[in-house]
């Protein structure tokens, strides 16, 4: 080659290299040379795609800028290329930009010689957006496929010849055909549609164009199932156009059988409802836009208006204005869903001018596709009249019940007291609030009467005819007091409630007891006095004769002991006669001033020998500052002598006798409903003897009652009588084997004491 040609060739190479360099540096695709697992060269476009500057990638491995799975694929590919094998020349890899963002890059590779060895020349194009679009299209395609397959409506696509292209699961379920059967073209769409229906529908669709397609929506038609059953369907259909011409027909249909069944059921229900409303005994109307939109015959009958008249009317036309406005406001609130009463009473003006009372129950409904209220009204005019009469009757009844002198209460089946009157409050001590609706009647019944009365309560409700309607029981008041009461009870007809009236008969019972006691005592006293009178004189003669006999005759010791025994017996009998006469004599006393301690000490002195012989210790504790009393000294001496004698008799094996006196200022004496207050002297006679059993304790003050081997049974009866004569009271505390304690209280001055009344002894265990 000549020199000129050589220079020209060199110049061309130089120009070619410059052109190549400009092209590579300004290429829109990325270029890189990769040798020995490192970048030898990268052009600006490649670096720009990954966010690197010039020189930053030189000597860097692909491993540093690719996702691990992509790097492994690239390394395997490059190994094959460098070995002379023929793997795919293009591949897609996921690169990581300098900022950590993944980019999908498509690379075309070739092998070149570089210096001492082969290298890879790669042309890289960023396809991230395209890949995303492809994924989106694929995802959308899958979405549409899933949507079609899982739609509750049947979806069918077919060409214009009736060959099915799409037949979803819902279409299979409705028709009974499988998608395989339909898509195989063995069955044409025309075969399972009603005769002529496909032609008619295609004719409708043909009326449209690509620019203005005809869409069939909700058309009711019929199709045959696989078993040849003809069923109603709701069909929507349209064409898919291509280049201005219909290409595919899309049909969406729904089985109308369930809807038809519901419609038939609804139609039947509406018919039954209308018959029910028309024949109802209550008035029924629909209220909408403040007018009576519908009224049943009963409503019209109640008010006397025709259906046409009422259709032009509202509440304002048949109610007092102020009430009508309230009801109209409630209607507006109910339509808006606000809370208003579910039931209330109203008065409506009938056509004949009369006012009638109604109970109305409104509810929200939809009428002719708009909100309205359905209202049921019941004529309560007669009920109102009856209620008014009942209220008047109740007022009279309550007035009568409240002002009667008898305690009255109402009992529920549960035994709870539901109503009491004022007298019942006084009788029990409980307030109305404490009893009504809270307290069972057993709370005011003595425990010993509760079982009997609960049995009556139950038997009365079981219809037993043997349950007494009147009987006595012991009433327990709030303070624990016991009253004798007489009860009258009966069931209120038609209910399970009992009406009970109670009167306090405590005073009457006490008077009956006292009267009976007085009567018995009078008879007994009269008889005893007569016997004592008849016995006393002969006793004196016998006693005198024995004394004369003892003085006139010389008697042996044995005879003397016999006569002394007779004399002792006469003394005992004489003492008994004297006690009878003392017990039966008048209740008058002769009060004088006496020292109480002197009387007691004198009695104890006379018993000293007896106490010593029986090992009985005597202890006294006298209130000497208040020792002087205005009393009948003879009677009080007799009272104390009897108590001391009983105490000594109760301690045959020895023991202790204690006598105490103490002043009780302003003591309140109570007897048979009477009470008075006075300074009292309390006398306590206490022994440690054999005691008194509970059965005997209530009887010890009765005349002639005694448990001793010897005795008249008049000692304690006389003690009771003397106590009564002195307007006092006596209490006994005793128990078998634990000794006895008798407490007597008498006013200090009998001239100032209250009326003489008889007191029953109070026994305490």
Helix (H, G, I), strand (E, B) or coil at 600: helix
Residue carrying structure tokens 């990325």: 30
Are 60 and 67 in contact by the 8 Å Cβ rule? The answer is no
C-alpha–C-alpha distance, residues 588 and 583, integer Å:
12
Q: For residue 478, give every residue at least 6 positions away whose Cβ sits within 8 Å of its Cβ, in sequence order, or none.
A: 428, 429, 430
Whether the pLDDT of residue 366 is over 80: the answer is yes
CATH code at position 695: 3.30.565.10
Indicate whether 185 and 63 sit together in one domain. no
For residue 647, being part of any structural domain is answered with yes
Indicate whether 634 and 754 sit together in one domain. yes
SS (H, E, C) 280-302: CCCEEEEEECCEEEEECHHHHHH
Give me the domain span that covers residue 693.
Answer: 586-764
C-alpha–C-alpha distance, residues 428 and 407, integer Å:
9
Which residues are paired to 107 by β-bridges? Answer: 91, 124
Indicate whether 475 and 541 sit together in one domain. no
Mean pLDDT computed over 400-418: 85
Residues of the chain with pLDDT > 90: what percent? 24
pLDDT at 500: 92
Indicate whether 429 and 499 sit together in one domain. yes
pLDDT at 135: 72
Indicate whether 634 and 729 sit together in one domain. yes
Q: How many domains does the chain have?
A: 6
Q: Nearest 5°: phi and psi at 42?
A: -140, 135
For residue 343, being part of any structural domain is answered with yes
Whether the pLDDT of residue 472 is over 80: the answer is yes
Indicate whether 170 and 288 sit together in one domain. no
pLDDT at 403: 72
For residue 12, being part of any structural domain is answered with no
Q: For residue 312, give every residue at least 6 positions away whose Cβ sits within 8 Å of its Cβ, in sequence order, or none.
A: 291
Domain limit, last residue, from 353, 384, 415: 384
For residue 272, being part of any structural domain is answered with no
∠ CA 610-611-617, rounded to 5°: 175
Indicate whether 171 and 113 sit together in one domain. no
Q: Dump pLDDT digits (tens) for 618-654.
A: 999 999 999 999 988 888 888 898 899 888 988 988 9
Indicate whether 434 and 558 sit together in one domain. no
Are 465 and 381 in contact by the 8 Å Cβ rule? The answer is no
∠ CA 503-507-508, rounded to 5°: 75
Angle between helices 715-725 and 557-584 in degrees, nearest 10: 30
pLDDT at 764: 45
C-alpha–C-alpha distance, residues 570 and 333, integer Å:
110
pLDDT band at 763 (very low <50, low <70, confident <90, very high): very low
Helix (H, G, I), strand (E, B) or coil at 751: coil
Q: Dump pLDDT digits (tens) for 135-190.
A: 766 666 677 777 777 888 888 888 888 888 888 888 888 888 888 888 876 677 77
Whether the pLDDT of residue 124 is over 70: the answer is yes
Instruction: Specify the range with the lowest mean pLDDT, choosing from 306-315, 367-376, 605-614, 752-761.
Output: 752-761
For residue 122, being part of any structural domain is answered with yes
C-alpha–C-alpha distance, residues 564 and 558, integer Å:
10
For residue 600, being part of any structural domain is answered with yes
Q: Dump pLDDT digits (tens) for 176-227.
A: 888 888 887 667 777 778 788 888 888 888 898 888 989 888 888 888 888 8
Q: Indicate the pTM of the whole model.
A: 0.34
Indicate whether 357 and 236 sit together in one domain. no
Indicate whether 497 and 567 sit together in one domain. no
Are 189 and 157 in contact by the 8 Å Cβ rule? The answer is no
Which residues are paired to 285 by β-bridges? Answer: 295, 375
Annotate 13-48 with DSSP letters as a single string.
HHHHHHHHHHHHHH-SSEEEEEETTEEEEE-HHHHH
Q: Dump pLDDT digits (tens) for 567-610.
A: 766 766 666 566 555 555 556 778 889 999 999 998 888 889 88
Whether the pLDDT of residue 494 is over 50: the answer is yes
Indicate whether 191 and 176 sit together in one domain. yes
CATH code at position 64: 3.30.450.20
Residue carrying structure tokens 């009060």: 591
Q: Nearest 5°: phi and psi at 626?
A: -125, 40
For residue 567, being part of any structural domain is answered with yes
Six-digit token string for 55: 């020189």
Are 764 and 731 in contact by the 8 Å Cβ rule? The answer is yes
pLDDT at 761: 41
Indicate whether 498 and 514 sit together in one domain. no
Cα Rg of the chain (Å, integer): 63
Six-digit token string for 11: 């110049």
For residue 141, being part of any structural domain is answered with no
C-alpha–C-alpha distance, residues 490 and 472, integer Å:
15
Domain limit, last residue, from 459, 476, 504: 504
Domain limit, last residue, from 469, 504, 539: 504
């Amino acid at each position: 080659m000549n020199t000129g040609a050589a220079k020209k060739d060199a110049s061309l190479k130089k120009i070619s290299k410059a052109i190549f360099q400009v092209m590579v540096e300004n290429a829109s695709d990325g270029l890189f040379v990769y040798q020995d697992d490192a970048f030898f060269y990268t052009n600006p476009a490649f670096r720009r795609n990954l966010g690197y500057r010039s020189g930053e990638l030189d000597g860097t491995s692909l491993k540093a800028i690719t996702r691990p799975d992509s790097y492994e694929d690239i390394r395997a590919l490059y190994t094959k290329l460098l070995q002379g094998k023929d793997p795919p020349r293009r591949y897609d890899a996921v690169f990581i930009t300098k900022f950590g963002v993944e980019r999908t890059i498509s690379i075309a590779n070739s092998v070149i010689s570089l210096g001492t060895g082969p290298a890879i020349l790669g042309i890289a194009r960023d396809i991230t957006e395209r890949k995303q679009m492809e994924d989106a299209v694929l995802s959308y395609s899958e979405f549409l496929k899933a949507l079609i397959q899982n739609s509750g409506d049947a979806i069918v696509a077919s060409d214009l010849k009736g060959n099915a292209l799409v037949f979803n699961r819902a279409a299979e379920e409705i028709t009974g055909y499988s998608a395989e059967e339909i898509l195989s073209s063995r069955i044409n769409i025309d075969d399972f549609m009603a005769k002529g229906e496909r032609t008619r529908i295609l004719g409708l669709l043909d009326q449209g164009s690509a620019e203005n397609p005809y869409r069939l929506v909700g058309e009711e038609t019929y199709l045959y199932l696989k078993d040849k059953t003809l069923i109603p369907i709701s069909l929507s259909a349209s064409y898919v156009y291509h280049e201005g011409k219909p290409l595919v027909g899309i049909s969406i249909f729904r089985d109308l059988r369930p809807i038809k069944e519901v419609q038939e059921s609804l139609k039947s229900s509406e018919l039954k409802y209308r018959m029910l409303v028309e024949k109802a005994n209550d008035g029924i109307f629909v209220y909408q836009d403040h007018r009576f939109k519908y009224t049943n015959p009963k409503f019209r009958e109640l008010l006397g208006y025709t259906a046409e008249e009422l259709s032009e009317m509202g509440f304002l036309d048949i109610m007092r204005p102020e009430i009508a406005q309230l009801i109209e406001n409630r209607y507006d609130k109910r339509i808006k869903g606000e809370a208003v009463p579910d039931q209330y009473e109203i008065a409506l003006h009938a056509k004949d001018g009369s006012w009638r009372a109604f109970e109305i129950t409104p509810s929200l409904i939809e009428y002719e596709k708009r909100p309205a209220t359905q209202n049921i009204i019941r004529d309560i005019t007669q009920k109102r009249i009856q209620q008014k009469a009942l209220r008047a009757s109740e007022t009279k009844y309550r007035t009568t019940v409240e002002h009667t002198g008898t305690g009255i209460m109402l009992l529920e089946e549960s035994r709870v007291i539901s109503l009491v009157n004022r007298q019942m409050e006084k009788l029990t001590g409980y307030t109305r609030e404490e009893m009504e609706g809270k307290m069972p009647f057993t709370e005011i019944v003595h425990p010993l009467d509760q079982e009997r009365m609960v049995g009556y309560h139950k038997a009365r409700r079981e219809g037993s005819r043997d349950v007494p309607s009147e009987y006595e029981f012991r009433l327990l008041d709030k303070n624990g007091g016991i009253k004798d009461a007489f009860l009258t009870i009966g069931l209120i007809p038609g209910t399970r409630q009992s009406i009970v009236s109670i009167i306090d008969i405590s005073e009457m019972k006490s008077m009956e007891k006292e009267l009976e006691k007085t009567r018995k005592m009078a008879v007994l006293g009269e008889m005893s006095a007569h016997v004592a009178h008849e016995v006393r004189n002969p006793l004196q003669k016998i006693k005198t004769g024995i004394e004369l006999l003892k003085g006139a005759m010389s008697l042996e010791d044995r005879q003397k002991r016999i006569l002394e025994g007779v004399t002792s017996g006469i003394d005992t009998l004489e003492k008994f006669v004297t006690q009878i006469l003392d017990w039966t004599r008048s209740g008058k006393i002769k009060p004088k001033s006496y020292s109480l301690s002197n009387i007691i000490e004198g009695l104890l002195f006379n018993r000293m020998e007896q106490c010593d012989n029986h090992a009985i210790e005597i202890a006294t504790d006298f209130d000497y500052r208040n020792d002087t009393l205005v009393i009948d000294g003879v009677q009080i001496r007799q009272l104390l002598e009897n108590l001391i004698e009983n105490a000594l008799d109760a301690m045959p094996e020895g023991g202790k006798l204690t006598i105490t006196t103490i002043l009780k200022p302003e003591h309140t004496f109570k007897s048979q409903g009477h009470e008075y207050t006075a300074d009292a002297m309390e006398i306590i006679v206490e022994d440690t003897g054999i005691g008194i059993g509970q059965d005997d304790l209530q009887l010890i003050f009765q005349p002639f009652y005694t448990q001793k081997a010897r005795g008249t049974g008049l000692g304690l009866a006389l003690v009771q009588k003397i106590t009564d004569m002195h307007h006092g009271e006596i209490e006994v505390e005793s128990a078998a084997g634990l000794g006895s304690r008798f407490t007597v209280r008498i006013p200090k001055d009998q001239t100032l004491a209250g009326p003489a009344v008889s007191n029953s002894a109070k026994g305490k265990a």
